[in-house]
Amino acid sequence: MAAQSATPATLVIRHVNVVDVKNEALLKDQDVVLSGNRIVSVEPAKETRINGPSVVIDGRGKFLIPGLWDCHIHLSWTTSSALPLLTALGLTEVRDLGSKLTDLERWRAQIADGTLVGPHIMRVGPILNGKAFNPYQFVPGSAEGTRGAVRLLTYLGMDEIKVHRRLPRDWYFAALDESKTLNIRLVGHIPMEVTPEEASNAGQYMIEHTETLFEGTFSAKLTDAELPGAIHAWLATDQPDQLFATFVRNGTWVDPTLSGYLEAANLLDPATPVDPLYRYVAASQRKLAADQMKQHPLAVTEIKTTHEHMQALADVTARMVKDHVRLVAGTDAAGPRLVGFSLHSELVDLVRAGMTPMQALQTATLNPAIAFDRISDLGTIAPGKLADLVLLDANPLEHIENTQRIDTVFQNGQVYSRNDLDQLLATAERLAAAN
């Protein structure tokens, strides 16, 4: 584990610019006082009187943001090498949408007691589906079995219930009904036998992936090559605005996961140069993906269709931004996909889709805290909140890419300096090579 320093009795970040994501403002020249793992005060810089031992960090010319979320990740599928990497990249919170519960419980306990460096982990899953396509999906067997699965997962302490696209229609509505009875939220894909309007009106809390809007009823009679054109034809009608007005009216959240799908298109394309950042992806997952591509290489036309499909999904996300649908930032990082770096790419993609840098930053800070009922502890920089923070060398409101210029990460009562973060990156690379 990389060297790290426990937060002293008092730590002061002096003369720092605080990004106020709640009020969409930049608070210049502030003193932020931390004690243990909590924020004590945020106020205009002055000679603050501190009782007892303290450490001062010079924040001149730097920018403080809340810790970042990846709202859609699969940690068992990335392997444990992802955990220090996420912290090194400023991600203090993640929402796992389907992993082995034994993995998650072990990692959560180790992170909590300080024997492992990593983010706080929100658990959603295992995934309820009509057919199991990977080890993280569970087939309940019937509508009544689905109700039983929802009851069991609620009893086990899951934060939400996730469904996938092959869940039969009657199983899906049974899951929704049981979730409402137990007061636990249902999220995930829209099953192929259900329309997006039905899912929103029935109370699905969050829709994962822009792609799922077109997975079933929309694309049932279309070939892969026809789908991108059909999506763009749909965008030329008034139907998208009507659908997204329904989402807004019902309070339906959407997690677009643009970066994950755009990255997947590039991974399938042998003409795309391999990014050196893939050294942080577990070697076992890189090998598995390479072997699959050798066994089932895509034709040039299939690769072209894949890129066109992903661009269509980006255009749909842009319409959701325009129509004020509530969004959170997630990546669907799993298997051979980049972890951590992809969250920063997601923010860039959301700006390209029409968001301001402030709005994009909110999707990875304020919005998840609101969506997942963590606003009393997270999402903003304010007295009493957890001191899960990221200190940046440049202003993310000028260029969203500046979220990648990280100086210091504060998490779980620890302070990770730039040197500490570099050590975490080295640890993550070494673990990835061995996993």
- In tens, the pLDDT along 366-414 reads 999 999 999 999 999 999 999 999 999 999 999 999 999 999 999 988 9
Q: What is the mean pLDDT of the chain?
A: 93
- Where exactly are the structural domains of the chain? 5-66+379-417, 68-371
Q: 69 phi and psi, to 5 degrees? A: -110, 145
| Position 176 pLDDT exceeds 70 | yes
Q: In the prediction, which pLDDT does 104 show?
A: 96
pLDDT at residue 194 tops 80: yes
Mean pLDDT of 74-103: 96
Q: What count of other Cβ atoms lies within 10 Å of the Cβ of residue 367?
A: 23
Q: Which of 286, 284, 268 is nearest to 276 (CA)?
A: 286
Where residue 220 falls (left for φ over 0; alpha for ψ -120 to 50; beta otherwise) is: alpha
**Per-residue pLDDT at 269:** 80
The pair of three-digit structure tokens given for residue 63, joined into one six-digit string: 């920018």
In the prediction, which pLDDT does 53 show?
65
Can you list the positions of beta strands (E) in 354-434? 389-392, 406-411, 414-416
Q: Is a pLDDT exceeding 60 seen at residue 116?
A: yes
Residue 5 has pLDDT above 60, yes or no: no
Helix (H), strand (E) at residue 363? helix 357-363
| Residue 316 near residue 210, CB atoms below 8 Å | yes
Q: What secondary structure does DSSP assign to 226-268, as a single string? A: THHHHHHHHHTSSHHHHHHHHHHHHT-EEE--HHHHHHHHHHT
Residue 51 pLDDT level (bands cut at 50, 70, 90): low
**Strand (E) or helix (H) holding 34:** strand 25-35
Q: What one-character DSSP code corresponds to residue 10? A: E
pLDDT reading at 268 higher than 90: no
Tell me the pairing of strands 38-44 and 54-58. unpaired
Lowest average pLDDT, out of 48-57, 243-252, 266-275, goes to 48-57
Please give the pLDDT value at position 256: 97
How confident is the model over 167-178, as a mean pLDDT?
Answer: 98
Average pLDDT over residues 81-108: 97
Rg of the chain over Cα atoms, rounded to whole angstroms, equals 22
**pLDDT for position 433:** 94
Number of DSSP helices (H) and strands (E) in the chain, helices first: 15, 18
Indicate whether 271 pLDDT > 90.
Answer: no
> What does the CA dihedral 393, 395, 401, 402 come to, rounded to 10 degrees?
10
Q: Rounded to two decimals, what is the model's pTM?
A: 0.94
Rounded distance between C-alpha atoms, residue 361 and residue 409, angstroms:
16
What was the pLDDT predicted at 8?
54
Note whether 393 and 407 are within 8 A (CB). Answer: yes
**Rounded to 10 degrees, what is the CA torsion of 128, 111, 68, 334?**
-40
Provide, for the chain, the percentages of residues in helix, strand and coil under a 3-state DSSP scheme, each rounded to the nearest 5.
40, 20, 35
Assign 261 a pLDDT band (cuts: 50, 70, 90). confident
The more confidently predicted of residues 10 and 9 is: 10
SS3 of residue 87 by DSSP: helix
Is domain 68-371 given the CATH code 3.90.1150.10 in the classification? no
pLDDT in tens, 320-368: 999 999 999 999 999 889 999 999 999 999 999 999 999 999 999 999 9
Average pLDDT over residues 295-314: 84
- CB of 381 closer than 8 Å to CB of 405: no
User: Given the structure tokens 């060398």, which residue do they identify?
Assistant: 393
Taking phi first (over 0 means left), then psi (-120 to 50 degrees means alpha), and beta for anything else, what does residue 141 get? left
Query: Does the domain at residues 5-66+379-417 carry the CATH identifier 2.30.40.10?
Result: yes
- Distance in angstroms (rounded) separating the CA atoms of residues 321 and 326: 8
The pLDDT score that the predictor gives to residue 347 is: 98
